[in-house]
Chain A
């Protein structure tokens, strides 16, 4: 079965850093594009970052550009999100999500259970 398991969420002070991980299993991780999506408490879903299967193509939402870095290690079947200069508005549950293609149309077919990041003094 496909599994995505996030970890690394924690309480951190404003201005601090955190690294999230997403461990993948049950599929060939190295051929799938991946994303991070977050959800602030009581709010909707916000896409924040994308990485291609090779890691050569990366995109960020404006809200995190210059502060967050997405990466992957295909040998370890793992996806990462390095978060620096954290702000209160970064408080959210962070999900990793796998990309599925159908006729060139992309969707997120598998999601992890999420990891909570709280930014507070």
Chain B
């Protein structure tokens, strides 16, 4: 199975800040990497697919980059509603493993 390592596991930032979350995979997955946002009590929401493509309806302050084994989710100009847990997921092979999550708190 492909192992996913997200960092940091949690972070705190202020409104207007720029933050980055990284995801490293145990083997190369090309660009088969997705990012999801999950708020408490809600289903996950797709933000970024294929490493860098923005899902329809997602604000442009979210962006993704990377390929191979190292990927980054960036959120610029943080807003209060960005408080959530963020997960990466590989779709290169089965099982479709997820990272352990990064909890983002807005100060």
Contacts and interface: CB of A to CB of B under 8 A. Distances in A.
Interface of A: 35, 37, 44-47, 50, 59, 61-62, 95, 100, 102-103, 105-109, 111-114
Given A45-B44, A111-B44, A111-B45, A103 B50 contact: yes
Interface of B: 31-32, 34, 36, 38, 42-46, 49-51, 53, 55, 87, 89, 91, 94-101
A37 B95 CA distance: 11
A82 B100 CA distance: 26
B96 A50 contact: yes
Contacts of A102: 49-50, 53
B32 to A, nearest CB: 5
Contact of B91 (A44, A62, A107, A113): A107
16 contacts: A44-B100, A44-B101, A45-B36, A45-B38, A45-B98, A50-B96, A59-B94, A100-B46, A103-B50, A105-B49, A105-B91, A108-B34, A111-B43, A111-B44, A111-B45, A113-B43
A45 B87 contact: yes
A106 B91 contact: yes
A96 to B, nearest CB: 10
Contact of A61 (B34, B43, B95): B95
